[in-house]
Amino acid sequence: GNSVTQMEGPVTLSEEAFLTINCTYTATGYPSLFWYVQYPGEGLQLLLKATKADDKGSNKGFEATYRKETTSFHLEKGSVQVSDSAVYFCALSEGNTDKLIFGTGTRLQVFP
Partner 1 sequence: SAVISQKPSRDICQRGTSLTIQCQVDSQVTMMFWYRQQPGQSLTLIATANQGSEATYESGFVIDKFPISRPNLTFSTLTVSNMSPEDSSIYLCSVEDYGYTFGSGTRLTVV
Binding stretches for partner 1 (CB under 8 A): 34, 36, 42-46, 49, 89, 93, 97-105
Minimum CB separation of residue 16 from partner 1 in Å reads 28
Sheet strands side by side (includes 19-21): 19-21, 75-77, 62-65, 56-59
Q: Give the Cα separation of 33 and 94 in Å (integer).
A: 9
Nearer to partner 1, 11 or 17 (CB): 11
CB of 75 to partner 1, least distance (A): 15
Cα–Cα nearest to 108, from 3, 18, 44, 25:
18
**Smallest distance, partner 1 to C-beta of residue 81, A:** 23
Answer for the pair 87, 20: CB distance below 8 angstroms, yes or no: no
End-to-end CA distance of the chain: 41
Q: Which is nearer to partner 1, 69 or 98 (CB)?
A: 98
Q: For partner 1, give the closer residue by CB, 60 or 99.
A: 99
CA distances from 96 to 26, 92, 100 (A): 15, 12, 11
In the complex, least distance from residue 112 CB atom to partner 1, rounded to whole angstroms:
25
Q: Which is nearer to partner 1, 49 or 77 (CB)?
A: 49
